[in-house]
Structures are given as C-alpha cells and as structure tokens.
C-alpha cells in the first residue's frame, strides 16, 4: 500500500464529481473577480494604451527597471548566501554540547530574531556612515545586506536547531556507537538530513529575503520597487507597480524551481550516503 493510500481514502465517483464541481465553481469565481477588476479599471481609463505605453520604452527599462532589478537580485543573492552561512554556524552552535558556546549562540539568535529587519538596516546605515569605513555610495547596499543577513540568518539557525531535534534519536545514538564524536554525528549524519527536511521552510525564507529588499528604499537603496515607484510617480503608478509585481513573481518562480532541484539533489545525496 502506498503512503498516499494509507493517509487518504481513494475518491469514489461521487467524490470525484463533487471535486470537479467545486473546481469549476472556484474557477468561475476567480474569473468573475478578474472580470470585475478589469471592468472597474476600464471605467477609470486605466486600460488605455496611453497608461501603459511608457512601460515599453527603452528609458524605462534601461534607467529604472533593469538597474532596480539588478539591485534587488544583488542584495538578495548575497543576503541568501550570508544568511545560510550565519544560520548553519549559529544553528550548530545552539546544538553544541559545550555550554558557553550554546548559551552565547542562543542569546544572539533570540535577540536578532526579535529585532525588526528594518531597524537593523537603519542602524547599520547610520553606524557605518559614522565609521567612514565604507564609501557613502555603498552604504545602503551594505546596510540592507547586513540587516537581511542577521535577521534571516537567525531564523535559519532556529530552523537548523529544530530540524535536527526532529530527527529520530536512534541516528545519533548509532553514530556515537560507531565511535563518531558528537560534532561528527551532527555534521555527517544529522545536518544533511535536516537540510532536506527544512528545504520548504528555507525556500520560504529566501522569498522573504527577496521581498524584504524592498525595505531598502527607506535608506535610499535603489531596488526594483523603488524604481517602479519613481517611474510610476512620473507616469502612472498602478501600471508600474504591476510590472514590478510580475517581475517579483517570475523571480520567485525561478527560485522555487531552483529550490526543488536542490531538494531532490540533496535527497539523492543523503540517500546514497545512507546506503553506503
């Protein structure tokens, strides 16, 4: 018996008909909402070509959308990498058998999780500006990346800790019985499996990082949403924001595809290692 059949009873003919009817009703409701929105936009002259023409000019993309998109991707990519590194280090620190290391990592993670990411961005923007360590033109970028790294890294650290704790205890006991140290059991046995299990939560956190780059406009960082707002202020706000939303949707879809591939790859690697 498959897992699906064990968890759910197979639908009979009547249940299948009801499911089909509900799907059709849902599709009709969504279509009706979309039609209603389009009708209202048409009454407000929001669908005329004059309202959309500015989006198809070279200046709009060369000077606003593409630079804003690059700013979003650049900050998000670097923040994802540094957040994962931070999360792995402090997540493993919270699992350390050494008391002081575990306590320090716990305090750091819990503190950073409690502070809003925007406050972190503003703090680093002001603090780095007083230190004169970084070119003033680069201050917003570093402030955005540092804020995203510390906040999301602390969340990932908690994901690592909870993911390892949810694994069967017999695995760690088996590793210890083979002569492995606690650190080796964590790195070689528990952590790879925890990463596979928490991949959906990691993906959600990556999406949060991508969207939170939009907070950078408050500290003058040029990213996609800020570019759309400046273009919309000069022409039409609704249309510019729709294009920005579509770009975010495309990026998130690509990120989801990448995460699914990575999840399958890690599952395969863990499975092969377990067989060995």
Q: Could you report the average pLDDT of every consecutive run of 10 residues in the chain (276 residues)? A: 46 79 90 88 83 89 93 94 94 87 94 94 92 88 96 93 74 62 67 75 88 91 91 88 91 82 68 50
pLDDT at 178: 65
Alpha-carbon distance of 215 to 228, in angstroms, equals 14
Predicted model pTM: 0.79
Looking at residue 1, its pLDDT comes to 40
Assign residue 221 a region (left: φ > 0; alpha: ψ between -120 and 50; beta: otherwise). beta
């Amino acid at each position: 018996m498959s897992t699906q059949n064990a968890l759910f009873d197979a639908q009979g003919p009547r249940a299948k008909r009801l499911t089909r009817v509900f799907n059709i009703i849902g599709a009709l409701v969504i279509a009706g909402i979309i039609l209603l929105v389009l009708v209202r936009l048409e009454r407000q002259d929001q669908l005329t070509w004059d309202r959309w023409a500015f989006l198809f000019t070279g200046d709009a993309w060369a000077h606003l959308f593409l630079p804003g998109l690059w700013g979003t991707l650049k900050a998000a990519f670097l923040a994802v990498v540094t957040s994962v590194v931070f999360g792995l280090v402090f997540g493993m620190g919270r699992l350390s058998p050494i008391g002081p290391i575990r306590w320090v990592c716990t305090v750091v993670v819990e503190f950073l999780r409690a502070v809003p990411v925007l406050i972190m961005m503003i703090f680093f923007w002001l603090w780095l500006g007083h230190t004169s360590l970084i070119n003033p033109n680069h201050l917003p970028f570093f402030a955005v990346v540092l804020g995203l790294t510390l906040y999301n890294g602390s969340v990932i650290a908690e994901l690592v800790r909870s993911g390892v704790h949810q694994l069967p205890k017999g695995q760690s006991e088996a590793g210890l019985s083979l002569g492995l140290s606690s650190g080796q059991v964590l790195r070689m046995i528990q952590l790879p499996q925890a990463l596979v299990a928490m991949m959906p939560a990691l993906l959600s956190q990556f999406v949060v990082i991508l969207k939170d780059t939009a907070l950078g406009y408050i500290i003058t960082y040029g990213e996609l949403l800020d570019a759309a707002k400046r273009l919309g202020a000069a022409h039409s706000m609704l249309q510019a924001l729709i294009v920005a939303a579509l770009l975010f949707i495309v990026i998130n879809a690509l990120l989801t595809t990448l995460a699914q591939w990575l999840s399958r790859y890690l599952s395969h690697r863990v499975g092969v290692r377990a067989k060995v």
